[in-house]
């Protein structure tokens, strides 16, 4: 059994994505996703398929001056509409926008 749960609600994430224009890719996540052949629609479909069973852990990162940010990590085997399957590592946070900080194959 996993010792913790995601800090960001998947229900709220899925709701916000359905409303549209709520996805932001930061850092290397956009390039990594594009290199795997994922469009924004593919990424959203993948995020819609996430469940708490895919949750791995929450990671905290210092921002300086005593502040930090936390991101939920998910591990998922995802099959695109084309039939291609990837074992993905996804790191995200949510604050009105779904911010994807990592989107790449599991290493």
Q: pLDDT digits over 19-47, tens only? A: 988 999 999 999 999 999 999 999 999 99
Q: Give me the helices (H) in the chain, please.
A: 10-19, 29-35, 40-49
Domains of the chain listed by start with CATH number: 10-105 (3.30.2310.40)
CB 42 within 8 A of CB 80: yes
Query: Which band of pLDDT confidence, cut at 50, 70 and 90, is reported for residue 63?
Result: confident
pLDDT at 64: 86
Pairing between β-strand 23-25 and β-strand 98-105 as defined by DSSP bridges: parallel
Task: Report the predicted TM-score, pTM, of the whole model to 2 decimal places.
Answer: 0.92
Contact between 70 and 60 (Cβ < 8 Å): yes
Q: Are 3 and 89 in contact, with CB atoms under 8 Å apart?
A: no
Give the pLDDT band of residue 1 (cuts 50, 70, 90): very low
d(CA 55, CA 60): 15
Contact criterion met (CB below 8 Å) for 66 and 32 = no
**Mean residue pLDDT across the chain:** 93
Note the pLDDT tens digit of each residue in 80-101: 988 999 999 999 999 989 999 9
């Amino acid at each position: 059994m996993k010792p913790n749960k995601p800090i960001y609600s998947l229900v709220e994430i899925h709701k916000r994505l359905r409303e549209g224009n709520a996805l932001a890719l930061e850092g290397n996540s956009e390039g990594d996703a594009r290199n795997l052949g994922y469009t924004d629609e593919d990424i959203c479909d993948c995020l819609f398929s996430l469940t708490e069973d895919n949750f791995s852990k929450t990671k905290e990162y210092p921002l300086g001056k005593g502040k930090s940010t936390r991101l939920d990590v998910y591990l998922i085997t995802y099959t695109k509409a084309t039939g291609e399957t990837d074992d993905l590592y996804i790191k995200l946070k949510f604050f009105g926008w779904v911010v994807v900080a990592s989107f790449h194959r599991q290493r």
